[in-house]
């Protein structure tokens, strides 16, 4: 109905969006956390090694008397400074900041800041980042500070290696997840695809239910609903078949009668006989015409169920005024007193169909009312319903028959063999089409038939 096409929904795309976007953020978070977790112990290990070197140096100094004039041996110096990646600096200062050994440009930390005895910190030397381990110790009975520093080449290498490794493995994971999700969704949707193929392979006449047990649990409600619809269709189709069978009978019988009379008439030579035959043909043709109209009205009411567009605000009173006149020649001929007691009764409806509904009611009333009788049509509002009533003084319809008379081709036992049994079915069909309902009642006078049709009022929509 809407002019804008609805956006296509793809389950695969939906799942991808909902799985992969959060997954990607989670993986990014994982890289960050993993990086921190892996980096900390590695850096701590380097720090401990650096501090160990500082400790070794302090022991060496204390044991060898270095610092009181004796320099560090060349071999010890080489040992201290040897590293595969980084340059090593070291220095030993006394409490006053005087250099006792090592590199002069390694500034000592304030002794007061070293309450813990040891300190690890980052610094810059000759425009290079360095990591420094400082240790406070007693040298020959005096406070001294040993510092060992190294450039950060291997630390950076370590950082890079951890990061590269983490990202590479996460990337691998992402690719694996994409592939798995893609195929997994495909696998998950396969039963749906099989269901589609199974439904598509059916002929349009095959209304058997789709097997529900093969469908995945998630799709079963859909299959169930589909089966309900198929069941309803099958029911509708069956009643239509039944209807066609009845209609065929109803149409062929009067035509057969007409044909028989005509053929018989052609064999006759007596004008009296011809006249008698023609007299018999007249009501038969009228009945056939009536039946054709009824069948067409029913068909139109059924089509009308799908076409809400023909519905417009109208007043039952106006419909009665425009249709009732067609029956005046008949009521006058039979000396029937027709009364119209019309009050406003606005509805939303198809004027032609409501006209047919009324025509059927008046037609029935005339059929079952004796000469000199009364027929009254009422329109009015009652309890927010627009009401249309046709009341006659005929024989009435027994309680037990009052539901059945609305069925197609149903005819009350012992009724005059005039109607085709469709009139009230049409009335009910059209009433239902408009959201209304028709029922048979006993008139206030106690005799005859009163058909009351209630429609939802259109009043609230217009004021």
Partner 1 sequence: MRILIVEDDKLLGDGLVRYLQQAGYVTEIATSGTEADAVLANEEYDLVILDIGLPGMDGFEVLRRLRRRQRYVPVLVLTARDTLDDRVHGLNLGADDYLVKPFALLELEARIRAVVRRGQASNGNRIVHGPLVVDTGARRAWLDDIPLRLTAREWNVLEFLILREGKMVSKDQIVSAISSSDDEISQNSVEVHISRLRAKLEPAGLKIHSIRGFGYYLDLKASTPG
Tokens of 72: 């560090």
Instruction: Verify binding: residue 398, partner 1, rule CB under 8 A.
Output: no
Applying CB under 8 A, the site for partner 1 has a residue count of: 22
Q: Please report which helix (H) or strand (E) contains residue 387, including its range.
A: strand 385-392
Stretch that binds partner 1, among 89-97, 118-126, 239-247, 334-342 (CB under 8 A): 334-342
Instruction: Verify binding: residue 344, partner 1, rule CB under 8 A.
Output: no
Question: Binding partner 1 by CB under 8 A: which of 5, 117, 329, 446?
Answer: 329
Residue 376: CB minimum distance to partner 1, A: 7
Question: Do 424 and 406 form a contact (C-beta atoms < 8 A)?
Answer: yes
Question: Binding partner 1 by CB under 8 A: which of 151, 360, 376, 428?
Answer: 376
> Smaller CB distance to partner 1: residue 158 or 314?
314
> Smaller CB distance to partner 1: residue 41 or 329?
329
Residue 309: CB minimum distance to partner 1, A: 11
Question: Do 451 and 339 form a contact (C-beta atoms < 8 A)?
Answer: no
Instruction: Verify binding: residue 321, partner 1, rule CB under 8 A.
Output: yes
Residue 140's contacts (CB-CB under 8 Å, 6 or more residues apart) are 62, 65, 67, 68
Instruction: Verify binding: residue 325, partner 1, rule CB under 8 A.
Output: yes
How would DSSP label each residue in 297-330? Answer: HHHHHHHHTT-GGG-EEEEHHHHHHHHGGGGHHH
Q: CB neighbours (10 Å) of residue 26?
A: 10
Tokens of 245: 């069978």
Instruction: Verify binding: residue 15, partner 1, rule CB under 8 A.
Output: no
Instruction: Verify binding: residue 164, partner 1, rule CB under 8 A.
Output: no
Residue 223: CB minimum distance to partner 1, A: 40
Residue window 197-236: x/- pattern of binding to partner 1, with contact defined by CB under 8 A? ----------------------------------------
Instruction: Verify binding: residue 328, partner 1, rule CB under 8 A.
Output: yes
Going by C-alpha positions, the residue among 397, 377, 387, 384 that lies closest to residue 447 is: 397
Q: CB neighbours (10 Å) of residue 397?
A: 21
Instruction: Verify binding: residue 305, partner 1, rule CB under 8 A.
Output: no
Residue 345: CB minimum distance to partner 1, A: 15
- Residue 99 is classified by DSSP as E
Binders in 260-289 for partner 1, by CB under 8 A: 285, 289
Residue with tokens 């609305």: 406
Q: CB neighbours (10 Å) of residue 290?
A: 17
> Smaller CB distance to partner 1: residue 150 or 392?
392
The CA-atom distances, in angstroms, between 366 and each of 361, 363, 372 are 9, 5, 11
- Residue 45 is classified by DSSP as H
Handedness of CA 350, 352, 357, 358 (dihedral sign): positive
Question: Binding partner 1 by CB under 8 A: which of 169, 220, 260, 310?
Answer: 310
Residue 312: CB minimum distance to partner 1, A: 10
Instruction: Verify binding: residue 337, partner 1, rule CB under 8 A.
Output: yes
> Smaller CB distance to partner 1: residue 221 or 325?
325
Beta bridge partners of 438: 453
Instruction: Verify binding: residue 445, partner 1, rule CB under 8 A.
Output: no
Residue 339: CB minimum distance to partner 1, A: 3
- Residue 207 is classified by DSSP as -
Instruction: Verify binding: residue 340, partner 1, rule CB under 8 A.
Output: yes
> Smaller CB distance to partner 1: residue 167 or 352?
352
**Pairing status of strand 374-382 against strand 337-342:** parallel
Residue with tokens 């798995």: 180
Interacting residues with partner 1 (CB under 8 A):
285, 289, 292, 300, 310, 321, 324-325, 328-329, 332, 337-342, 350-352, 374, 376
């Amino acid at each position: 109905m809407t002019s804008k096409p609805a956006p296509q929904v793809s389950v695969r795309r939906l799942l991808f969006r909902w799985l992969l976007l959060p997954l990607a953020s989670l993986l990014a978070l994982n890289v960050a956390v993993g990086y921190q977790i892996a980096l900390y112990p590695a850096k701590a290990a380097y720090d401990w090694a650096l501090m160990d070197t500082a400790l070794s140096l302090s022991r060496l100094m204390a044991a060898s008397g270095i610092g009181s004039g004796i320099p560090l041996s060349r071999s010890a110096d080489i040992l201290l400074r040897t590293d595969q990646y980084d340059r090593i600096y070291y220095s030993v200062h006394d409490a006053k900041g005087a250099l006792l050994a090592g590199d002069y440009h390694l500034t000592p930390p304030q002794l007061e800041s070293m309450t813990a005895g040891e300190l690890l910190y980052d610094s810059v030397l000759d425009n290079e980042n360095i990591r420094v381990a400082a240790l406070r110790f007693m040298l020959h009975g005096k406070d001294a500070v040993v510092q060992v520093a190294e450039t950060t080449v291997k630390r950076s290498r370590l950082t890079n290696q951890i990061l590269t490794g983490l990202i590479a493995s996460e990337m691998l994971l992402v690719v694996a997840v994409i592939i798995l999700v893609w195929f997994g969704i495909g696998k998950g949707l396969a039963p749906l695809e099989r269901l589609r193929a199974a439904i598509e392979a059916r002929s349009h006449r095959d209304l058997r239910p789709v097997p529900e047990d093969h469908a995945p649990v998630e799709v079963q409600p859909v299959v169930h609903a589909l089966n309900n619809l198929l069941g309803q269709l099958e029911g509708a189709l069956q009643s239509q078949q039944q209807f066609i069978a009845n209609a065929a009978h109803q149409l062929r019988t009067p035509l057969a009668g007409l044909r028989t009379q005509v053929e018989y008439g052609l064999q006759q030579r007596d004008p009296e006989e011809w006249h008698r035959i023609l007299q018999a043909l007249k009501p038969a043709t009228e009945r056939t015409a009536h039946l054709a109209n009824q069948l067409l009205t029913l068909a139109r009411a059924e089509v009308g169920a799908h076409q809400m567009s023909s519905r417009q605000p109208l007043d039952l009173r106006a419909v009665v005024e425009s249709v009732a006149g067609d029956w005046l020649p008949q009521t006058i001929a039979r000396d029937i007193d027709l009364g119209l007691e019309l009050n406003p009764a606005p509805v939303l409806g198809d004027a032609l169909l409501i006209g047919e509904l009324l025509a059927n009611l008046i037609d029935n009333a005339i059929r079952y009312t004796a000469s000199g009788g009364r027929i009254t049509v009422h329109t009015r509002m009652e309890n927010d319903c627009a009401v249309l009533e046709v009341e006659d003084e005929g024989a009435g319809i027994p309680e037990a028959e009052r539901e059945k008379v609305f069925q197609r081709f149903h005819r009350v036992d012992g009724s005059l063999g005039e109607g085709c049994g469709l009139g009230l079915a049409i009335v009910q069909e059209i009433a239902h089409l408009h959201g209304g309902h028709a029922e048979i009642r006993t008139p206030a006078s106690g005799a005859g038939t009163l058909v009351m049709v209630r429609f939802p009022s259109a009043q609230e929509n217009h004021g």
